[in-house]
Structure 1
Amino acid sequence: MALKKNGFIPSSAPEELKKVLVAVASVWGDTIEDMEEFHVFPLKGAMTNEVFQINWPTNHGDLHQKVLVRVYGKGVEVFFNRDDEIRTFECMSELGQGPRLLGRFSDGRIEEFIHARTLSVADLRDPEISSLIAAKLREFNNLDMPGPKNVLLWERLRTWLSQAKRFCSPSTAKEFGLDGLEEEISILEKELTQGYQEIGFCHNDLQYGNIMMDEETRVITLIDYEYASYNPVAYDLANHFCEMAANYHSETPHILDYSIYPDVELV
């Protein structure tokens, strides 16, 4: 399913989505009689979904309501379990930790539009913002989420490696050293599971595009929980530090620049 960009919801959009949007508007006291009252704007930066801001005029004057529509990406099931992600999002919504869930349709969902800005790659190196992220992450890691609290890191790495080998040609597998990664994962698992490890609910994808900040209140909100699970808290911190070497708005978003990996002074 695709939405018309910078325009109206097309007639080809699923009736299910239209009905859910109309229902959400109705809850807020707005009556929508024509689909052209919904204005669609694409949002950049999403990695595994298509994300749109949808506005419509209210029944209370010139103000507009805003929601975020997330259309699930195809083929992402090799990276995470969508059902688990939806359950996590619903729980986070109930806990007031992220945007509220407003509605669901078969290919996606409608979320509360957060009036805050998405951070940039430079923001992660700002000491004040970094301290706010640290405090929020501590709160996130302490959440008591329902379901099993088993560490998923090692199983997930092996699953991704298996999928990578299945899709890669022999030459590509050799180029990226895939044949040696199973042993490396086993070595890391053995070394990093010795002794005490604090286990908490981890975001596991703490890149700048998944962190939002209200400019007035300086409140930090973590969004997008596709990869969230119980893991060693140290892994969440390490993942965030690695993301500080990434720029997803560059011409090479898949290449990390470890020359800008945070040093001891920064962290």
Structure 2
Amino acid sequence: MERSLGEATTAAERDLEAAISRVSPWQGHRLRYRSVSGGINNANWRVWVDDDPATFFVKIPGKGTEMFVDRAVAMHASRQAADLGIGPRVYDFLAADGIEISDFVETRRSCTHADFRNLTLSRTAIDCYRTLHGGAMLSQTKTVFDRIDETHEQVRMLGGWQPPDFLKLDHQYRRARAALEASGLDLVPCFNDPMAGNFMTDDAGTIMMIDYEFASNNDRCYDLGVWFAEMFFDEPTERALIAHYFGRADPAIVARVTVHQALADLTWAAWSMVQLKMSVLDFDFFKYGVWRYRRARAVLDDPRWDGWLKAV
């Protein structure tokens, strides 16, 4: 429901009104807003200023997100993506408060998993990844290993749920980490959060990437692996996209991306159990986390797992 400034009836609306009231260029203007669905970390809003057809996207950080999101790094990555032409314009209005304001992308729609069944569109997304990875290093390096260790510690600290076979999963994580560190990490600026809705397309089939709050310097094969896992690509599609990115799909690269897929699922599974304890958003984090653990096992229990670890 669209509301005008001063009409808030919920805590989330009051938080939004308190924020946009502090935006200096908007003071004295008529402000309207509407909730934007889809986020599982934050409260997202669309804001109108007077009768200007151009509108703004406002992200209010969710409770507990400071445990795993550095808002200054997210802002840095968002600005860099905008400069590279793969993200929307970002404003400094409330950056000091960790509140991100950007252009609301009027001419695009959020992608779905079905969209990425189109190999041409998926190749376009790969081109965006290559552009992002070619940019200047970000102000934070946080590898998948850092993320896993951080979230496992948070789960323990909060008394969160862990699966009965956690020690087995953790053992395989340690093996994968040792193999990847022995081969050397290929650190580049990474997106790290490739939900389908974080890609926006238009009628021309171009792609824009939004929501950089998990961005960091990380291994480029993690960025590809977590996206492949998120999109449920089959192995031939994965090889085709690896070849599009690298110019080849040799066994070592395929193995490296595949191992990172399993690590991505372990990351987001543990993250879900942290969110289950901290978030007030209406989302079934337990179901999501259990499902991610199950999918990680599908890779870790694959008879090719030992071979992949040797190949990386």
TM-score band (shorter)?
Answer: 0.7 to 0.9
RMSD: 2.9
Instruction: Determine which structure has the larger helix proportion and give its number.
Output: 2
Pick which of 87-96 and 64-73 moved more.
87-96
Change (3 A) 1:202 1:15: closer
2:193–2:214 contact (8 Å) kept in structure 1:
yes
Instruction: Please give the residue correspondences for 1:6-155 in structure 2 after superposition, counting only pairs within 5 Å.
Output: 6-10=2-6, 12=14, 15-20=18-23, 23=25, 25=26, 32=29, 37-58=30-51, 64-102=53-91, 103-104=93-94, 106=97, 108-115=99-106, 116-147=108-139, 150=141, 152-155=143-146
2:76–2:138 contact (8 Å) kept in structure 1:
no
Change (3 A) 1:71 1:111: same
1:151–1:199 contact (8 Å) kept in structure 2:
no
- Asked whether 1:214 is paired with 2:207, we answer no
Q: CA deviation at 1:53?
A: 0.9
Q: Deviations over 1:73-97 (max 9, x none)?
A: 1101222323322332233344443
Change (3 A) 1:131 1:16: closer
> SS of the counterpart of 1:225?
coil
Structure 1 residue identity aligned to 2:182: Q
Equivalent residue, structure 1, for 2:274: none
Of 192, 211, 217 in structure 2, the residue corresponding to residue 204 of structure 1 is 192
1:151–1:232 contact (8 Å) kept in structure 2:
no
Mapped to 1, the partners of 2:81 and 2:71 lie a distance apart of 15
> SS of the counterpart of 1:187?
helix
**Identity over the aligned pairs, expressed in percent?**
21
Q: CA deviation at 1:159?
A: 0.9
Change (3 A) 1:134 1:90: closer
How many residues get paired?
233
Q: CA deviation at 1:151?
A: 5.6
Structure 1 residue identity aligned to 2:74: E
Equivalent residue, structure 2, for 1:231: 218
Q: CA deviation at 1:188?
A: 0.9
Q: CA deviation at 1:178?
A: 3.2
Q: CA deviation at 1:113?
A: 1.2
Q: Deviations over 1:22-59 (max 9, x none)?
A: 61x58xxxx72xxxx3221211111211111112343x
1:136–1:220 contact (8 Å) kept in structure 2:
yes
Structure 2: give runs of 5+ residues left out of the alignment.
Answer: 8-13, 233-264, 266-282, 299-312
Q: CA deviation at 1:145?
A: 2.6
Change (3 A) 1:180 1:82: farther
Mapped to 2, the partners of 1:147 and 1:108 lie a distance apart of 18
Structure 2 residue identity aligned to 1:135: D
> SS of the counterpart of 1:194?
helix
Equivalent residue, structure 1, for 2:152: 161
TM-score (norm 1): 0.75
2:36–2:46 contact (8 Å) kept in structure 1:
yes
> SS of the counterpart of 2:132?
helix
Of 184, 205, 228 in structure 1, the residue corresponding to residue 172 of structure 2 is 184
Mapped to 1, the partners of 2:227 and 2:133 lie a distance apart of 13
Change (3 A) 1:107 1:8: farther
Structure 2 residue identity aligned to 1:46: G
Structure 2 residue identity aligned to 1:222: M
Change (3 A) 1:66 1:213: same
